């Protein structure tokens, strides 16, 4: 399984702080995102549009490869400072 | 160098003193500090405080990375960042950045770089309260432009070296 975390609007739209997901095929962050979006309409709403992705707590893109036990996070553009 | 995410308020004097511990023995002749406060308005009118969410673990390591980038990019001897999270009232302190260098220019540039880049790359999200409704703050194009300026100056430096 892969540990998925959601933050800010993405968390609120998804209706969950996170979820455990099976490793997608191909095993990439982009494929994981598509797999989650097909899971429910709330996940689809949460993950469509401008969403940033992190793999093991480092910003990444859809092509980034993932393995069992990894942590993947989805969140909106940041607004700190 | 130090970077912390915390709920509690901070004392500028205490942070200044903390910066000086390493900065002074390394020959600092200039210290620049920046403090960001909660504004009491947005484009739609008055607000009643904000709430900040973060990604425990990633936020701290992103701040550490930012300090390392600032140190390799500018001639500074010490730097620190404190970012608050949780519910904050209007006018409360949100963020503090301190930089120290032998001469003032590098400290000013490093502090600006840290703030510009923080707003683009550190996972922290702001929600504003208006009445009993809270709405997420949208990322600003201005902030992107400010961060892009640093990428552009990297490019310029590469051209100069070529």
CB contact under 8 A, A78 and B139: yes
Q: Would you give the end-to-end CA distance of chain B in angstroms?
A: 33
Query: Does A80 sit within 8 Å of B125, measured CB to CB?
Result: yes
Greater confidence (B150 vs B122) lies with: B122
Q: Is residue A55 part of a domain?
A: yes
Contact B110, B76 (CB under 8 A): yes
Which domain covers residue A12, as residue numbers? 2-75
- Asked whether residue A81 is domain-assigned, the answer is no
- Domain of residue A13, CATH code: 3.10.20.30
B2-155 folds as Aldehyde Oxidoreductase; domain 3 (3.90.1170)
Is the per-residue pLDDT at B158 higher than 60?
Answer: no
Q: What is the mean pLDDT of residues B111-132?
A: 94
Instruction: State the smallest CA–CA distance between residue B105 and chain A in angstroms.
Output: 22
User: Percent of chain A, pLDDT > 90?
Assistant: 96
| Predicted pLDDT at B155 | 63
B61 shares contact with chain A (CB less than 8 Å): yes
Predicted pLDDT at B140: 82
pLDDT of residue B161: 42
Query: How many structural domains is chain A composed of?
Result: 1
Give a yes or no: residue A56 inside a domain. Answer: yes
Is B53 in CB contact (< 8 Å) with chain A?
Answer: yes
B121 CB within 8 Å of a chain A CB: yes
A39: closest CA of chain B, how far (Å)? 24
> Which own/partner pairs from B136-142 qualify as long-range (CB within 8 Å, at least 24 positions apart)?
B136/A8, B136/A9, B136/A76, B136/A79, B137/A79, B137/B42, B137/B50, B138/A77, B138/A79, B139/A76, B139/A77, B139/A78, B139/A79, B140/A79
ipTM of predicted complex: 0.94
Nearest to B121 among A7, A76, A78 (CB): A78
- Using the Cβ of A79 and the Cβ atoms of chain B, whether some distance falls under 8 Å is answered with yes
Average model confidence (pLDDT) across chain B: 92
pLDDT in tens, B49-105: 999 999 999 999 999 999 999 999 999 999 999 999 999 999 999 999 999 999 999
Chain A residue numbers touching B138 (CB-CB < 8 A) = 77, 79
């Amino acid at each position: 399984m892969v540990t998925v975390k959601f933050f800010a609007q993405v968390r609120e739209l998804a209706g969950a702080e996170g979820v455990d997901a099976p490793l997608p095929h191909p095993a990439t962050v982009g494929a994981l995102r598509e797999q989650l979006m097909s899971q429910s309409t709330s996940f689809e709403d949460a993950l469509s549009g401008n969403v940033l992705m992190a793999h093991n707590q480092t910003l990444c893109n859809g092509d980034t490869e993932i393995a069992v036990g990894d942590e993947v996070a989805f969140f909106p553009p940041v607004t700190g400072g | 160098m130090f970077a912390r995410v915390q709920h509690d308020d901070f004392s500028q004097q205490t942070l200044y003193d903390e910066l000086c511990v390493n900065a002074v023995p390394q020959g600092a002749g200039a210290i620049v500090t920046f403090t960001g406060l909660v504004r009491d308005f947005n484009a739609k009118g008055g607000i009643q405080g904000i709430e900040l969410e973060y990604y425990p673990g990633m936020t701290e390591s992103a701040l550490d990375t930012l300090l390392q980038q600032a140190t390799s990019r500018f001639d500074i001897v010490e730097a620190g960042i404190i970012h608050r999270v949780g519910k904050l009232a209007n006018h409360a302190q949100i963020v503090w950045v301190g930089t120290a260098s032998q001469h003032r220019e590098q400290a000013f540039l490093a502090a600006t770089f840290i703030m510009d880049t923080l707003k683009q790359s550190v996972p922290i999200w702001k929600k504003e309260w208006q009445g009993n409704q809270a709405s997420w703050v949208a990322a600003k194009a201005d902030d992107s432009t400010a961060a892009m300026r640093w990428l552009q100056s990297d490019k310029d430096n590469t051209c100069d070296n070529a």
